Amino acid sequence: MTQVPCYTIINSPDLEVPNEMQLKQDLEKGDTNVKIETLKKVIKLLLNGERYPGLIMTIIRFVLPVQNHTIKKLLLIFWEIVPKTSADGKLLQEMILVCDAYRKDLQHPNEFLRGSTLRFLCKLKEPELLEPLMPAIRACLDHRHSYVRRNAVLAIFTIYKNFDWLVPDGPELIASFLDTQQDMSCKRNAFLMLLHADQERALNYLASCIDQVQSFGDILQLVIVELIYKVCHANPAERSRFIRCIYNLLNSSSNAVRYESAGTLITLSLAPTAIKAAAGCYIELIVKESDNNVKLIVLDRLIAMKENENMEKVMQDLVMDVLRVLAAPDIEVRRKTLALAMDLVYSRNINEMVHVLQKEVAKTHNVEHEDTGKYRQLLVRTLHTCSIKFPDVASNVIPVLVEFLSDTNELAAVDVLIFIREAIQKFPALRELIIKHLIEAFPQIKSSKIHRAAVWILGEYVESDVQILVVIAAIQQTLGEIPMVDAEQHRLAGDSTDEQQQQHQGTTSTSGEATNSTGATTTTTTSSSSSNKVTSDGTYATQSAYSLAPVAKKEKRPPLRQYLMDGDFFIGAALSATLTKLALRYVELQSDARTQNRLTTQVMLIMSSILHLGKSGYPSKPITYDDSDRIMVCLRTLSDRTPEAVAVFSHDCRTALGNMLDAQQEEDQRMQKEKQRATAKVQPDSPVLFAQLSNGRDNQLGENVFESSLNQALAGSKTAQLSDMSSPNNKLNKVTQLTGFSDPVYAEAYVNVNQYDIVLDVLIVNQTNDTLQNCTLELATLGDLKLVERPHPVVLAPHDFCNIKANVKVSSTENGIIFGNIVYDTALNTNVVVLNTIHIDIMDYIIPASCTDTEFRQMWQDFEWENKVTVNTNFTDLHEYLKHLLKSTNMKCLTPEKALSGQCGFMAANMYAKSIFGENALANLSIEKPVDDPDSKVTGHIRIRAKSQGMALSLGDKISSSQKQSVQAA
């Protein structure tokens, strides 16, 4: 079956089909506006599959002679889409009249009419119509207006490509035309034709004007870049002839030309100068271009360059240039830039990079912007990675990062403490420096979570007796007066406490002020006294003085005390553990029993004071039993000092941290290995493929961009291989049977998902002995799917078959359903065959992804839609069920392998995935089975969270269906 030409698509809502006689009457007798509206209606009906053969003559007689420009434009669309042949394939007689009308339009004095008619002729596929028009088309090449000339070139190009016998001297004609032209758009179209029709002539023209290429317009420069690319890939010996031209085009005034030139240059040459020039051009484009989408696209090109080992070594010297991109305000651009710089940095330029990052940190101070907090967090993480990767710079980074601890943005401060915790464990030489800066920053910290982590680090790594005393003094200062319950009672009673006196020291009361310390009084009393005074003019003036009793205000407490008064006693429990560690270490360092006991009792007083405060009723929430028990354990440890308890506080905590950091490092290394691209290995006895023969110049040239983009278009994604797509097994797996074998029309569909599009390739077989007229595939969709266009009706001979393709657009990750029927006419009546529904699998849009624990918790807290799925399976092993779940949902397990190892009867794991539309999907698995019963089934539930309801429900449905399949299989 011949392929129907692709027409101009005009989207229209459902139209009611009007009477043909009414349409004829409107076209014959209506005024210009009525004819315009009727013509629009006819065009939409034709595109929707209706047929009106009787209208052609009416339009030729009554509409074609009208000189209205709008009608002329609509007629071009009409003649493009109207069937021009009869049932036996011969050209309709009426089309000769149409051809004559367009010959006149090609000689019309209006250049717009000439140009638009020439554009229309590019779409004609009937040589019988084009042949009489050729002299008029050639004459348009000499028209005074460039719009007509450039469209005449395009028309000759298209006609030569489809029917070269109509214009056998096309390349010579266009080559001579190119030599005489000055207009850039005409030159571009002429050069484009020579590029595709006669490359040798195009090369000769380029060689004759190669020194003037930089003065050409950008549209012509783009075609020149394409020509050089194709010629050099077809014949690598030509590279030396044209590569200088590509270098010159890197300095073009057009960003599009520079982008294409840089991409072409790195595919033609892997020389260090070429790589540096291309990368430098990309960086300039990112810095100067204002559109964020363009910045991200060009950044992706730089990241792709970095994936090539040969290019990565050259790009390492461009790290400082890459960091210029940080001037962009978009957080996504900054994130990608920092990741790229981190991958490229090496020991020679790490100091310069750290210096730039420190300047960026300074710029974020006192800047109020919605992404400032996220950017500071990114900078902290990058500096963290720099310090771990290059320990020599850690001493310069630590003072800068410690300043973040007093920041109001808790996210950045948490990341700083994570870095400090790792650095203080891995780099013993830096412990003194870290502890010194941490003690200095301790009083300025504003968050309970940050104080808690800082207290733990100080308690674990302070080694000398002098530093222990300094840390305890700093803790006491941020706690306030001890015992705390007495201090709070004095505060409520209105007595001046020690800490208030310290705050008010140095202030002097002004004379004549009346003060009234009435303590707990909250009412305001006013007393007035008046005295008579004589003014300059001899009259009396009365002066009144008012004395106000102060209203009791909320006193500002020290930070740690404030957390406790707000009911956060977890910080109290952490503080107790830290004080216990410090006291035990001090006992080891100090031989004097009296000094030991003095410090121990001081520490125990602080702990008992926290306990007392928690049960006193003054805080907004009482102390929890867990925190109370933990503080009691600390008190008992200090009083009894049993070897087991002392070992836990002195050694086991640090060992646990070391093990955790080692496990994290192993996980990171494993992920890094997974990311690294496996190098292709060809064995001596491997069969030789034609693809390998065509790519035999890999060490001379880079990848063939056209080939790789074609592969991606056919395979649907960068990871898919063409061999996988052409595999018959792969295709058969996606075939859905739509009708039964006994139905008069048998249909089956191959569903091909290409990211945002779904292509349905439907095979329709006529199983009857009758000819089926107007056999139409009618489809409808449910969910976020949209049918792009209605499939055209076909005629099926007895026992004949045909393939009909339908395109469906996808806009979000939800389970979609496509349903419909096949309608056909026989000699007697119209019949309908209802089709089986096609379920679009959500897994085609979901890809595994990873995120940090902090990001996972934040998203879990923010996402409002949750779907809870109960585990119903025949699996008896927890690990096997997890593997089955990950395979069926395309999610990635974030919980480390070490945390899941072993058999203890229960398992909890976090999973994460992203859709190609940028949606996040989180899942928490909580399953168990009795350890003593090996044959018992896994039970539990899976909680799914997503930002949209459809995503959460679709993922839940997928898990439920996969569980049913496993149960049925068992």
Model confidence at 721: pLDDT above 80: no
Q: What is the pLDDT of residue 332?
A: 87
**Measured between alpha carbons, how far is 121 from 137 in angstroms, rounded to an integer?**
9
More confident: 156 or 394: 156
Q: What is the pLDDT of residue 943?
A: 92
Tokens of 830: 């119209």
Model confidence at 508: pLDDT above 70: no
Mean pLDDT over residues 85-103, rounded? 80
Under the banding of pLDDT at 50, 70 and 90, the label for residue 944 is very high
Q: What is the pLDDT of residue 747?
A: 92
Model confidence at 903: pLDDT above 80: no
Closest CA to 885 of 848, 858, 841, 857: 848
Q: What is the pLDDT of residue 700?
A: 44
Using an 8 Å Cβ cutoff, are 923 and 911 in contact?
A: yes
How many residues comprise the chain? 970
- Give the angle 899-901-902 at the CA atoms, nearest 5°: 125
Model confidence at 728: pLDDT above 50: no
**Measured between alpha carbons, how far is 423 from 465 in angstroms, rounded to an integer?**
22
Model confidence at 72: pLDDT above 80: yes
Q: What is the pLDDT of residue 14?
A: 54
Mean pLDDT over residues 339-354, rounded? 86
Q: How many CA atoms lie within 13 A of 208 on its CB side?
A: 9
Q: How many CA atoms lie within 13 A of 235 on its CB side?
A: 11
Cα 165 from chain centre:
51
Mean pLDDT over residues 572-590, rounded? 86
Model confidence at 52: pLDDT above 70: yes
The whole-chain average pLDDT of the chain stands at 79
For the stretch 120-177, pLDDT in tens is 888 888 888 888 888 888 888 888 888 899 899 999 999 988 888 888 888 888 888 8
Q: What is the pLDDT of residue 765?
A: 92
Model confidence at 368: pLDDT above 60: yes
Cα 467 from chain centre:
48
Which of these ranges, 270-284, 546-560, 804-818, has the smallest mean pLDDT?
Answer: 546-560
Under the banding of pLDDT at 50, 70 and 90, the label for residue 98 is confident
For the stretch 165-214, pLDDT in tens is 888 888 888 888 888 888 888 888 888 888 888 888 888 888 788 777 77
Which of these ranges, 589-598, 712-721, 799-808, has the smallest mean pLDDT?
Answer: 712-721
Q: What is the pLDDT of residue 367?
A: 66
Coil/strand/helix, residue 5: coil
Model confidence at 494: pLDDT above 80: no
Amino acid at position 87, single letter: A
- Give the angle 431-437-439 at the CA atoms, nearest 5°: 95
Closest CA to 279 of 242, 319, 246, 239: 319
Mean pLDDT over residues 45-57, rounded? 78
Amino acid at position 235, single letter: N
Which of these ranges, 11-25, 92-106, 643-657, 945-959, has the smallest mean pLDDT?
Answer: 11-25
**pTM for the model:** 0.66
Q: What is the pLDDT of residue 813?
A: 67
**Measured between alpha carbons, how far is 880 from 889 in angstroms, rounded to an integer?**
14
Q: What is the pLDDT of residue 550?
A: 43
